[in-house]
Amino acid sequence: MRLKTLFAASAFSATCLAGMAQAEDPGLWKVYNDTFKSAKYVDLTHTITPDIPVWAGFGGPTFAPATAGVAMEGYVAKDEAFTFEKHGFEATNYILRTDQLGTQLDPPAHWAPEYPAIDELPATYTLRPLVVINIEPQVAKDFGYALQVADIEAFEKEYGTIPEGSVVMVRSGWSKAWPDKEFAARTPFPGVGLDALKFLHEQRKILFHGHEPLDTDATPTLEGEYWLMHNGYAQAEGVTNLDQVPPVGALIAIGYPKFGGGLGGYARYIAICPPDWQYGISVGQVAEAPLPKSDKPLKFDAARGMRLRE
C-alpha cells in the first residue's frame, strides 16, 4: 500500500514538474511574450485608393460596390449591389489593372519569367532583420541622387556590417509627398545605384532591398531593376515611414497576397522596433479584439470612388 502511494506521489510530482517545465519553456510563445509583445510596430505601407500614383501605362484602380454575379431567388437579383440594409453585408469590386500598385514586393518573374513569381517566394520571407540607410541629406542637395557603395560603407562604419539575409530599406524622403501624382512623375527621382545593389547582394548577401519611389532607379533602361530581376532577386517598392524606424536593431514583417503566377505583389510591411523606440504602437495600446466601433459608418462615396467615414 505504501509502495502504491509512493508510486502515485511520484507520478503526481512528475506530472507537476512536466507542467512546470512546459510553462517555463513554451517555445516561441516565450519569445513573443518577452520580446514581440512589448515591441513597437510601425506600418511602412501606403493605403491603396483609386487616386494613388501608378505608372501611366497601367492606369489606376477602380473601386465599386460588389454586385451579384447570379440571381438568387428571394434574396438578390443579378447585378444588384449588396447592401447592409437588404442583405446584411456589403463587399467591394476592385478593378486592379496591375499588380504593380502602391507598396509592393516585386518577384524576379516581373522581368524574368524563368525566376519565381509572387506565389513561389519561400515562406522564409516572412520575418527578417531590418536595416534603414538614410540618404535624405544627399537627396536634399540632388533630388536624383542614387545610393552609392560609399554610402553603404559610411553606414557600416557607424552601425556595423549589414547582416546576411536582412532587408535593406533606402530612406530618401520621397514618400512624404504621397499621393501627389505630379510629384510622383518627377524625374530623375531618388534611386539605388547599380553598384550599390550589387554590393548589397553579392557582398552582404541581403534578402532584398526596398525604396520609397515606384522604380529602382531613373536610368533610361532601369538598369538596377533589370539586374535584380534577371539575377533572381526580389525588391520592395513604394515603402513609407522609414523616418520612423531606427537604422539598425529592428525587424520587418512581410506579407503579401499569393496570386498564382503573379508578377507583382501588393505588400504589407511592418517594422518591429525595440520597446523603447519613440515611434509605433505596442500590443495592448489600441483595441484589437473586439476592434473599436466608429460613430461614422463606412459609406460609398461616388465622387471619391471608395468607402469613407464622413
| Residues of the chain below pLDDT 50 | 1-18, 20-21
pLDDT at 16: 47
Q: What are phi and psi of 165, to 5 degrees?
A: 80, 5
- The enclosing domain of 236 has a CATH number of 3.50.30.50
Residue 63 lies in a domain: no
Residue 56 lies inside a defined structural domain of this protein: no
Distance CA 110, CA 230 (A): 9
Give the C-alpha separation, 64 to 83, whole Å.
Answer: 12
Q: Does residue 177 sit within a domain?
A: yes
pLDDT for 12:
44
pLDDT of residue 3: 36
- CA neighbours closer than 13 Å in the CB half-sphere of residue 116: 15
CA distances from 69 to 81, 83, 91, 93, 96 (A): 10, 15, 13, 11, 18
Residue 26 CB-half CA count within 13 A: 9
Q: Look at residue 141 and tell me if it is in a domain.
A: yes
pLDDT value at position 26? Answer: 83
Residue of 256, 260, 220, 221 whose CA lies nearest to 237: 256
Contacts of 269 (CB under 8 A, 6+ apart): 43, 44, 45, 103, 210, 236, 239, 252, 253, 254, 255
Query: Is residue 35 situated within a structural domain?
Result: no
Q: Please, are residues 225 and 216 in contact by the beta-carbon 8 Å criterion?
A: yes
Q: Given this model, what pLDDT does residue 158 score? A: 98
- Domain encompassing residue 151: 104-273
| Confidence (pLDDT) at 5 | 38
Structural domain contains residue 17: no
pLDDT confidence of residue 105: 98
Reported pTM: 0.90
Alpha carbon distances (Å) from 268 to 48, 49, 142, 285:
11, 15, 30, 21
Report pLDDT for 18. 47
b/e map 61-97, b = 16+ CB within 10 Å:
bebeeeeeeeeeeeebeeeebbeeeeeeebeeeeebe
What is the number of domains present in the chain?
1
- Cell 510553462 belongs to which residue? 23
Residue 123 lies in a domain: yes
Grid coordinates belonging to 257? 497576397
Q: What is the SS3 assignment for the chain?
A: CHHHHHHHHHHHHHHHHHHHHHHHCCCHHHHHHHHHCCCEEEECECCCCCCCCCCCCCCCCEEEECECCCCECCCECCCCECCHHHHCCCCEEEECCCCCCCCEEECHHHCCCCCCCHHHCCHHHHEEEEEEEECHHHHHHCCCCEECHHHHHHHHHHHCCCCCCCEEEEECCHHHHCCCHHHHCCCCCCEECHHHHHHHHHHCCCCEEEECCCCCCCCCCCHHHHHHHCCCCCEEECECCHHHCCCCCEEEEEECCCCCCCCCCECEEEEEECCCCCCCECCCCCCCCCCCCCCCCEEEECCCCEEEEC
Whether residue 24 is contained in a domain is answered as: no
